[in-house]
Structure formats: structure tokens, C-alpha cells
Amino acid sequence: MAGIEGLVKVAELRKRILFSLMVLAIYRIGVHIPTPGIDGEALQQMFAGMKGTLFGVFNMFSGGALERFSILALGVMPYISSSIIFQLLTVVWPYLHELQKEGDQGRKKITQYTRYGTVALALVQSFSIASGLEQAQGVVLHPGLAFKLMTMVTLTTGTIFLMWLGEQISERGIGNGISLIIFAGIAAGIPNGIGQTFSLYRSGELSFLTILIIGAIIVATFFCIIFVERGARRIPVQYAKRIVGRKVYGGQNTHIPMKVNTSGVIPPIFASSLIMFPATFATFFPNKYIQQITQQLMPGALLYDVFFVSLIVFFCYFYTAVTFKTDDVAENLKKYGGFIPGIRPGPPTATYLDFVLSRITLGGAIYISAICVLPTILTQSMKVPFYFGGTSVLILVGVALDTVAQIETFLIQRNYEGFMKHTRLKGRAAYT
């Protein structure tokens, strides 16, 4: 019986993995379907001069769909932006805060509002992109209101389709669907980057020693990210013993895990978006003074690095404060009879957690800043022809770790269910 249950478990896992791969294949096919009304060659030339702008960031998250201006050009960025907005609104808007406390029913309503927000953001972004493309000479074949409306309908529908695909992966596949779509988009650019690297090696622009150094740095960066993402400070917690009737409750020792990088990849995403707005607007307003300021805010400039690191540190503290509320944690510990050894319950516990969290967040902010600045150094000093590091690597490693963890959880749950079923059968046999 155990062998049959094991085979069924493996077959179900294989089915889920194959379903996820099939959905990702559909996504990659959709990336190559172009939106009507665009001159592809003129569009490629335009994007060649837009590296380092906000379009470059969107193009990375869309897996090259924006550069091709396909029907999936917006990718899942509108959904991510809407999710972040409503996640922050649950903190400052009492209505959403109460919805979040209602459990599954409240979360379903917030998810529904997030979808509405996704559609609204997709319409605004598609209209902005269509208007911007009309400013470029020769890119749009027939400019006008009809082109704008067609682009808005096409790109918004593509975003809704991607959002649906992500939900299908989460329900019927393995892993988080939206995260896997972003993962697939970023990973799709890796073979092209490797091919460009070897082309530069054959042409003599990159030496073999340089390629070895780049490979060693890439491996070291991956190990560093895995090590830090797994790292956490464990705050010991004890629960006092309580006597209820003839039974004794509590007396347990546990801990509060405080991750080094509590904010995840949100800080570099926000920082990249804000710092690249000037470069994006400068492409549509070719003023001499604006161009000079923009040059100082391009990747590789000292001012860019200073602002980028400052914004990352700011958003690390901001997002951590929003997602990890020390007052609520201290209140819950006091409510259930828990305490940190040597710290009084209540406000002193919240103060202590604030102190520990601020020090951990500083280390996480320095780590994220170093990872995000590394690709600029590589690109300039070693002429690396592909985008390496930063947000893309954090997402690649983070999604991979999360997917592996979900696979392990799936197997453990099935093993636990099989063990409980086997135990019940043995109990019934012994009883009879």
C-alpha cells in the first residue's frame, strides 16, 4: 500500500510540474506575437537607445515582450503594482484593514479589488506607451486615436490573460504563478546573454580570463544571495505554564524568526522605478538641460549609484515597518502568556524588537545595495553584454527557493496524510 501511495504522490507532483511548464510555454509563445500597427525594425532601433530607462526595467520583467511590443508587452507589472498598492492601503485604510482580518472572505474581496486595479493600471500604462511610441518617428504605421484604443485593448487583455495564467499555476500547478512568470521572463534572456558573451570572446573583445572571473563572480553572488535569504535572527520566546482544571498548558520554548531581508525584492523594484523616471521622460522631451541631468542619473554615474543605494535603504526600512509590526507581535505575545527572556512583556518587548529589527534591516539593506550595484561595475569594467545581478538575480534565486520549498511541503503533506491513513488502518485492525 505504501508503495502504491508513493507512486500516486509522485504522479500527482509530476502532473503539477508538467502543467506549470505547459503554462509557461504558452506565455513564452505569447511574447512573440506582435501588436498590430508597429514597424518592428524601427522599434528595435528605438529601444537600442533606451537602455537604462524605465522601459528597460519593464522589458526585463516582461521577458523581452515590451521590446518586441507583443500582446504581452506589459507583462504582470500592472498586477504587481496593484498588489503592492493594496497591500500598503491595508495599513492606512481602515476598511481594507478590517477586510484583511475577516479571513478568506476578506482576502477574496481584496484580491478582487486588486484585479480591478490591475485593469485600471494596464489601461493607463498602455495609453502612455502608445502615446510615447507615436512621438518616435516611423515606429507607428498609422498614428491616431484608433491606434491608441487598439493598443489599450490589446495590452490590457494580454495582462489579464497573464494574470489568469498565473492563477492557474497557483491552483493547479506548483509554485506561485505570478512569480514563476516573472522568473521565466528573466531566465529567457540568459541564453541570449551567454551567446553574446561567447561572440565577444570569439571576436577578441573578451579574454578567457575575464570570462572565468565573471563566472566566479556570478557563482559567488548566487551563493551569497542564497545564504542571506536563508538567514534569520531567532528571538527566543518562552510561554508561562498555566493550570486549567487538572491540565497544565504552556511551558514551551520557541522563537520568532526575523529574516535578514524582510522586504524581499520590493526595495530595488521601487528604487529602480523612481530613479529611472527622469531618463524615461528625457526620451520624450529632448531638452539640453534635461539631457545633462539625465546623463548624471544613468547607470554607471556616481550620482545614480548614490541615489539608488539611498532609495534602497529607505524602502528597506519603510516596507519592513509596514509588513512587520512589532507592536502587534508584542501584544500577541502578552495575550497568550509569552515573553522574551530578560524583557518585560508589552511596550518594552516592542522596543526591543524595534531595536533588533532596525539593526537586521540595515544589514539587509547593505546586502541588497551591494547586489544591485554589482551589475553596473561588471558592465563597465568587463563589458558584460547582459544584465546580471540586482533585482533579476534576487527574483531568480528567491522564486527558485520558494518553488523548491513548496515542492518539499507538497511531499511532506502527502507523506503525513499517508502516514495518518496507515495508522488509522492499523488501529482499526487492532480493534477488530
The answer to whether the CB of 377 falls within 8 A of the CB of 213 is no
**pLDDT of res. 285:** 58
For 292, residues 6+ apart whose C-beta sits below 8 A from its C-beta are none
Which residues neighbour 345 within 8 Å (Cβ) at sequence distance 6 or greater?
330, 333, 334, 338, 339
pTM recorded for the entire structure: 0.75
SS3 249: strand
Tell the burial category of 165 from Cβ atoms under 10 Å away from its Cβ (0-12, 13-18, 19+). Answer: buried
Q: Per residue in 107-123, pLDDT tens?
A: 888 888 999 999 998 89
Average pLDDT over residues 271-298: 65
Which residue matches cell numbers 489601461?
123
C-alpha torsion 68→71→77→79, nearest 10: -170
CA–CA dist 177, 400 (Å, integer): 12
> Residue 274 corresponds to which cell in the numbers above?
523612481
Quote the mean pLDDT of the chain.
78
Side chain identity at 415, as an amino acid letter? N
What is the spatial distance between Cα 335 and Cα 330, in angstroms, rounded to a whole number?
9
Length of the chain: 432
pLDDT in tens, 331-384: 888 887 788 888 888 888 889 999 999 999 998 899 888 888 876 666 666 666
Tell me the pLDDT tens digit for each residue of 310-326.
888 988 888 888 778 88
CB of 28 closer than 8 Å to CB of 184:
yes
Query: Which is the CATH superfamily of the domain at 188-388?
Result: SecY subunit domain (1.10.3370.10)
CA atoms lying within 13 Å on the CB side of residue 250: 14
Taking Cα atoms as reference points, which of 297, 302, 300 lies closest to residue 279? 297
